[in-house]
Homo-oligomer: A and B are copies of this chain.
């Protein structure tokens, strides 16, 4: 459990003011719910979490708030290779991070790496384009599982009954 970074509230207020929007209790509950954890989520998962707060906020408002936050660049839509859209609330802390997905257990890890910048520079020189943003999804297999034949995440995922990645 994590408390919401005050910088989020600040930036959101700035956005709201700039756009001539208003403050509402429903929106505040949803924003609080999003940024009180560092978990990735889908719209539906967020709606479930919001519902449990008994704040009365509706599904439509959840969707509208997500759009608002994405527009304000406080929340990012990320590509995890899933069918449904997934959102990531951690870009204020780590603006340049990307995602690694374990093909064995489905666990998502965030990473930052200087090779991404090197790649950007290289493309700039070779292709005549200057990168402004990148979205990298890396699917990888767990070394520990291959070597030791077991991996704590996989065991945990099975115990929790999570849907494991499709096998190839």
Query: Contacting A111 at CB < 8 Å: which of B123, B144, B146?
Result: B123
A142 interface residue (CB < 8 Å to B): yes
Q: How many copies of the chain does the oligomer comprise?
A: 2
Chain B nearest CB, measured from A153 CB (Å): 11
| A interface residues (Cβ-Cβ under 8 A, vs B) | 79, 81, 100, 102-103, 109, 111, 113, 115-116, 118-120, 122-124, 126-144, 146
Chain B residue contacts of A143, Cβ below 8 A: 124, 128-130
For A119, give its contact among B119, B127, B133, B142 (CB under 8 Å): B119
Residues of chain B within 8 A (CB-CB) of A140 are 123-124, 127, 129-132
Point out the residues of chain B lying under 8 angstroms from A128, CB to CB.
142-144
In Å, the complex CA distance between A109 and B133 comes to: 15
* Cα–Cα, bound, A115→B142 (Å): 22
Q: Which residues of B are found within 8 Å of A131, using beta-carbon distances?
A: 100, 138-140
Tell me the complex Cα distance, A142–B132, Å: 10
Given contacts A111-B127, A128-B144, A143-B130, contact A81 B119 (CB under 8 A): no
